[in-house]
Amino acid sequence: MARVAVLHNTLDFHGGADAVCLAACEALQTDHDVTLVTVSETNPVALADRFDVSVADLTVRMPPVATAISRTLSAGVPWIGPQLAFRSVVLYRFFRSFADEFDLAVSTANEFSLSLPSVQYVHYPQFNLHRLPEAAPGRLNRLWSRLAGPTRAEMADHDVTLLSNSSWTASVVDTIYGVRPTVCFPPVGPIPCDRPWSDREAGIVVTGRLAPDKRVLDAITVIDRLRERGYDLHLHVVGATPRAYRNYAERITAKARERPYVVVEQNVTRSRLERLLCTHRYGLNMKPKEHFGMTVAEYAMAGMIAFAPASGGQQEVLDGRSDRLFASLEEAVTLIVRAVEADEPPTCSTGRFCRKTFRRSLRSHVDKLLEAQ
């Protein structure tokens, strides 16, 4: 049994990266002494219930000022953004003071310069973004990179195992660091659905964080245009509402009140989410360049026809299908119209995204690195 530190900058946004973090903790607790090191105000156990994972006995270490930092940054998100790289710097400087207590670190918050063997899971690089063509990394990213970011040599070291959530993200990492990670798809839990296609509602479901980058308001525009064309569809917006995005969530709710065919449900239970997915035909994601797209994978797992922007890792989830991937709002409307008129059940491979595959892959990489020490 090894002493493993799982590093995660914050759990406060309740998104796919947080699901990966908690799933990693759950997977490694079986064989190792696991400590989650984070800077969050969110209770990991409470969030684990939403993602249907179990981390009841997890040890958590946070800096004394973690809650205050998290609350301050979350309150300022509408004006300053999520500041994930800065949160990672705070995490890094806290962890390095006791890193020698552990045999290995697993980062589920992207890349770091670490002093011990590590498995680093990259959702999207957080440092050295100035190396990307046409990048807009922000004025302070070079500073954060100097404080906590790795060099190219460190990323290529034999004590570092790099994983990424998609081939698309792996290419971005390769551009910045000259090293291509191994793709390890995020864990998507099983969604048992016995509702036949003919009995499902002719409606669209949008799930995920109610945050500006998810472009939920665009989904309302899509349903408006579909109804203007004469298609009697409705829309369910179902998502987590982190405190940082409360203003955006209020805008979505206000729009929904004006439309009897749009329903918004916030912070629902896992069982309620699965029921909506299993009883509706269509799932929609509106975020361009989604690094992976766990909601898109969940749509597929639930037997829905999923639509997403033709960019980012979600292209892999949908097997690059031109009839499911769109480049504009108008094209999204056109693709949904074609699917409605065809009225054919979906066909999409989903076994790549199951939790067992993620757990097996992560454990294998951790054990291999430990054996090499």
Average the pLDDT over 97-109 and give the result.
97
Average the pLDDT over 229-242 and give the result.
93
Count the domains in the chain.
2
Place of tokens 């951790």: 366
DSSP 282-347: EEE---TT-SS-HHHHHHHHTT-EEEEESSSTHHHHTTT-TTTEESSHHHHHHHHHHHHHH-----
- Distance between CA atoms of 13 and 214, rounded to whole angstroms? 12
Structural domain contains residue 192: no
What pLDDT score was predicted for residue 349? Answer: 63
Structural domain contains residue 65: yes
Is the same domain home to 133 and 227? no
Structural domain contains residue 320: yes
Average pLDDT of the chain to the nearest whole number: 92
Structural domain contains residue 293: yes
Q: What is the tens place of the pLDDT at every residue in 337-352?
A: 999 999 998 876 666 7
CATH code at 138?
3.40.50.2000
Q: What is the tens place of the pLDDT at every residue in 171-220?
A: 999 999 999 999 999 998 778 898 999 999 999 999 988 999 999 999 99
Is the same domain home to 16 and 109? yes
Is the same domain home to 148 and 282? no
Q: What is the tens place of the pLDDT at every residue in 22-55?
A: 999 999 999 999 999 999 988 888 888 888 888 8
Q: What is the tens place of the pLDDT at every residue in 249-275?
A: 999 999 999 999 999 999 888 899 999
Is the same domain home to 303 and 163? no
Structural domain contains residue 220: yes
DSSP 27-55: HHHTTSEEEEEE--SS-HHHHHHHTT---
Predicted TM-score (pTM) above 0.85: yes
- With 80 as the cut, is the pLDDT of residue 74 above it? no
Is the same domain home to 24 and 70? yes
Is the same domain home to 135 and 91? yes
Is the same domain home to 317 and 360? no
Domain around 285: 197-352
Structural domain contains residue 70: yes
Is the same domain home to 159 and 214? no
